[in-house]
């Protein structure tokens, strides 16, 4: 998108629920008929990532209490059993009928539950059940309200999130076009000390174009993995991926009446919510830290096998999130509070000196394919160290290793 574009043009190339393009389609033609719906009583058993991430152990030390997460999405229903008492006042940026609590397809409510759901009533259990949600409703390209929709709703939502009490912004929305007003809103959010996560998209096999806001330098682009620690086939890849998290086969609300969950591919949308929750856990354990320090620890503790630190994957960025390494072991270098680990530049309003540039990494091999990027394998780390605090599946700590020889998929430093 470009500034000055008409609302009609903008709607044609409208934002998609990136990270949930496949999910949205599935609501109409797929998962309800193909995969059995997940009854509320057993939906938590389908959250396969909680046990290997040592969630129960982490919750004894940190739950995300004191942290607020702004969820920019389709709205958040505060009346589901898992979200009762968890949702604060937010903003409806659409300009259409209803407000931020009127979720028009269930996606935003799913994201909120993955972040801060209490699990009451057998609903989804958030990775940070002590956190609170500030909903910011925006419109996706498939929603057709009777009222006209604000053409700059994402811009308004980002700015409102920046001005809110939220420390973290989680956005599973985006599109393939830059918008100057959105760029300025993202920079404004950074200047306000917010930690901004966005999904990189689920169209790796359908063009794999950069998605915004995930591809902006100030935003943490989140990729998705499956239960084997392998990058999802649909997770988009490129120099805009900063980190990865579980995303495949995550339950979601599959009807607008909020009566049942379905099992499906949450993709990078779910991964973004789960990463936002991981950040909330770390921040609640270290409330004196800045957004830069929380993110630096997420990067520093990410599972990356035997990659050389400073080498970044176009598929998994710094690696797969492992908040337990910090929460349970106290590890992870918070670094300079005033320097962004994304750009290695001093953040707005800070007084610290800029940090040195990140370690140089090898040049990307553009011919590499996703199936060469990352696979699950046996840990090469010592049994007594952090390898036991990551995603442990089938008795093996999930690490990221190459299918072939040397790791050569790297990332250049990004510019706007």
Candidates 54, 102, 107, 350; catalytic one: 107
Contact 95, 147 (CB under 8 A): yes
Is the separation of the CB atoms in 292 and 214 below 8 Å?
no
**Which two three-digit tokens encode residue 179?**
């918008």
C-alpha 104: how far from chain center: 21
Question: Hey, is 365 helix, strand or coil?
Answer: coil
314 exposure class (CB count in 10 Å sphere: 0-12, 13-18, 19+) = buried
Q: At what angle do helices 153-163 and 180-191 cross, to 10 degrees?
A: 10
What the block records as the tokens of 334 is 């918070």
Write the CA distances from 195 to 116, 180, 259, 277, 296, integer angstroms.
17, 20, 33, 12, 11
269 labelled catalytic: yes
Query: Does 45 participate in catalysis according to the annotation?
Result: no
Tell me if residue 233 is catalytic: no
Q: What values do phi and psi take at 390, rounded to 5? A: -105, -145
Q: Exactly one of 73, 102, 300, 338 is catalytic; which is it?
A: 73
Q: Is the peptide bond before 213 cis (omega within 30 degrees of 0)?
A: yes
Distance CA 393, CA 375 (A): 13
Token pair belonging to 81 = 């059993």
| Residue pair 24/200 in contact by the 8 Å Cβ criterion | no
CA distance 242 to 312: 8
Active-site option among 82, 232, 269, 379: 269
The alpha carbon of 388 is separated from its chain's Cα centroid by a whole number of angstroms, namely 23
Buried b (16+ CB within 10 A) or exposed e, 115-147: bbbbbbebbbbbbbbbbbbbbbbbbbbebeeee
All residues at 6 or more sequence positions from 221 whose CB lies less than 8 Å from its CB, including other chains: 198, 199, 200, 211, 214, 215, 240, 241, 242, 243, 317
Give catalytic residues, as residue numbers: 73, 107, 269
């Amino acid at each position: 998108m470009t500034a000055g574009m008409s609302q009609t043009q903008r709607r044609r190339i409208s934002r998609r629920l990136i990270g949930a393009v496949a999910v949205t389609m599935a609501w109409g033609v797929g998962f309800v008929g193909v995969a059995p719906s997940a009854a509320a009583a057993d939906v938590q058993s389908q959250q396969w990532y909680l046990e290997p991430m040592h969630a129960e152990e982490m919750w004894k030390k940190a739950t995300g209490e004191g942290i607020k997460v702004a969820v920019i999405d389709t709205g958040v229903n505060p009346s589901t059993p898992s979200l009762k008492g968890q949702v604060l006042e937010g903003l409806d940026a659409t300009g259409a009928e209803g407000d931020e609590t009127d979720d028009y397809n269930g996606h935003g409510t799913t994201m909120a539950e993955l972040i801060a759901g209490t699990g009451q009533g057998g609903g989804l259990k958030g990775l940070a059940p002590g956190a609170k949600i500030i909903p910011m409703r925006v419109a996706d390209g498939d929603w057709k309200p009777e009222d006209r929709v604000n053409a700059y709703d994402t811009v308004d939502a980002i700015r409102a999130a920046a001005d809110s009490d939220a420390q973290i912004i989680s956005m599973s929305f985006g599109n393939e076009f830059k918008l100057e007003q959105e760029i300025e809103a993202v920079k404004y959010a950074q200047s306000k000390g917010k930690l901004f996560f966005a999904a990189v998209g689920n169209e790796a096999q359908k063009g794999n174009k950069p998605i915004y806001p995930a591809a902006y330098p100030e935003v943490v682009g989140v990729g998705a993995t499956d239960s084997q620690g392998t990058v999802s086939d649909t997770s988009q890849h490129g120099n805009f991926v900063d980190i990865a998290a579980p995303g495949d086969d995550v339950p979601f609300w599959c009807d607008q009446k909020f009566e049942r969950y379905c099992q499906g591919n949450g993709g990078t949308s779910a991964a973004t919510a789960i990463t936002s929750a991981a950040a909330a856990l770390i921040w609640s354990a270290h409330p004196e830290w800045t957004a830069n320090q929380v993110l630096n620890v997420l990067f520093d503790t990410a599972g990356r096998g035997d990659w050389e630190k400073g080498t970044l994957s176009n598929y998994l960025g710094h690696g797969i999130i492992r908040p337990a390494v910090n929460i349970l072991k106290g590890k992870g270098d918070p670094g300079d509070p005033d320097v962004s680990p994304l750009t290695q530049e001093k953040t707005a309003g800070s007084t610290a000196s800029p940090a040195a540039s990140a370690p140089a990494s090898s040049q990307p091999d553009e011919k590499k394919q996703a199936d060469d990027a990352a696979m699950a394998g046996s840990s090469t780390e010592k049994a007594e160290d952090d390898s036991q605090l990551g995603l442990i599946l089938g008795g093996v700590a999930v690490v990221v290793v190459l299918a072939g020889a040397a790791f050569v998929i790297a990332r250049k430093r990004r510019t706007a």
